[in-house]
């Protein structure tokens, strides 16, 4: 694959400070193959002129793209700071709400906590909760055995801090915000990610058993 020089400056969204601005490229590394299938991964580091923190961008391109020799043809993903939740098993509204919270974690802690609270509302509705308030939704899901006591408590913490953020009662501490992000991830893992992985494993075991029976 032909390797053209890419621009040394680029407009990038900084998820540290929230500014979308022209950033200077301060590092680059790439790897790929031009054997049977021509592809390339390029990693570029940019420095924000506002907060001076680093953003790491991954670009992927291959021979199936319209013009793989041009940087603009590459599929780009911001790897750092983390601003997305990598899972294809989450319902779209949950994924979008959670990612919105992650994207503002370094910009506005209050907004992040409000979005985490909203994410829980969407999760419990998706799980079949019919109660009106979030507290009642949490109790409903827990009584149905879908939420263990530890995650029930974690849910109430997110509700409590989310309510405080909404009413402007107390400033949100960044450490508290990070804990609430972790709690939300645990709930997502428990209700969506782990069950999906178990189902995938059951299918894999079933296929292995079928193969062994056919060979036997």
Residue 78 pairs in a beta bridge with 57
Q: State the Cα–Cα distance between residues 154 and 141, nearest whole angstrom.
A: 13
Q: Is pLDDT at 182 greater than 90 in this prediction?
A: yes
According to the model, what pLDDT value does residue 204 have? 83
- Where exactly are the structural domains of the chain? 9-80, 92-203
Q: Is pLDDT at 52 greater than 80 in this prediction?
A: yes
According to the model, what pLDDT value does residue 7 have? 57
Q: Would you give the distance in Å from CA 112 to the centre of its chain?
A: 13
pLDDT digits (tens, 9 = 90+) for 59-73: 888 777 655 455 445
% of residues, the chain, pLDDT over 70: 91
pLDDT digits (tens, 9 = 90+) for 191-202: 998 998 898 888
Highest CATH level, class, for 92-203: mainly alpha
Residues 6+ apart with CB under 8 A from 21: 11, 12, 14, 48, 49, 50
Q: Is pLDDT at 136 greater than 80 in this prediction?
A: yes
* β-strand pairing of 54-62 with 9-13: unpaired
Give the confidence band of 3 by pLDDT, cuts at 50, 70, 90: very low
- How much is the pTM? 0.69
């Amino acid at each position: 694959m032909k390797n053209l020089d890419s621009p040394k400056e680029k407009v990038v969204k900084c998820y540290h400070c929230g500014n979308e601005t022209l950033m200077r490229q301060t590092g680059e590394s790439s790897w790929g193959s031009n054997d049977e299938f021509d592809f390339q991964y390029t990693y570029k580091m940019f420095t924000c002129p506002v907060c001076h923190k680093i953003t790491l961008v991954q670009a992927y391109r291959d021979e199936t793209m319209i013009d793989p020799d041009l940087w603009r043809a590459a599929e780009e993903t911001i790897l750092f700071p983390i601003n997305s939740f990598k899972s294809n098993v989450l319902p779209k509204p949950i994924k979008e709400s959670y990612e919105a919270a992650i994207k503002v974690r370094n910009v506005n802690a209050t907004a992040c906590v409000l979005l985490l609270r909203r994410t829980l509302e969407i999760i419990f509705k998706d799980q079949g909760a019919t109660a009106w308030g979030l507290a009642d939704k949490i109790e409903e899901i827990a009584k149905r055995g879908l939420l263990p006591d530890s995650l029930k408590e974690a849910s109430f913490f997110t509700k409590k801090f989310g309510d405080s953020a909404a009413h402007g009662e107390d400033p949100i501490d960044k450490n508290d915000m990070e804990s609430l992000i972790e709690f939300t991830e645990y709930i997502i893992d428990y209700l969506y990610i782990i069950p999906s992985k178990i189902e995938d494993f059951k299918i894999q075991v079933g296929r292995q058993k079928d193969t062994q029976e056919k060979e036997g």
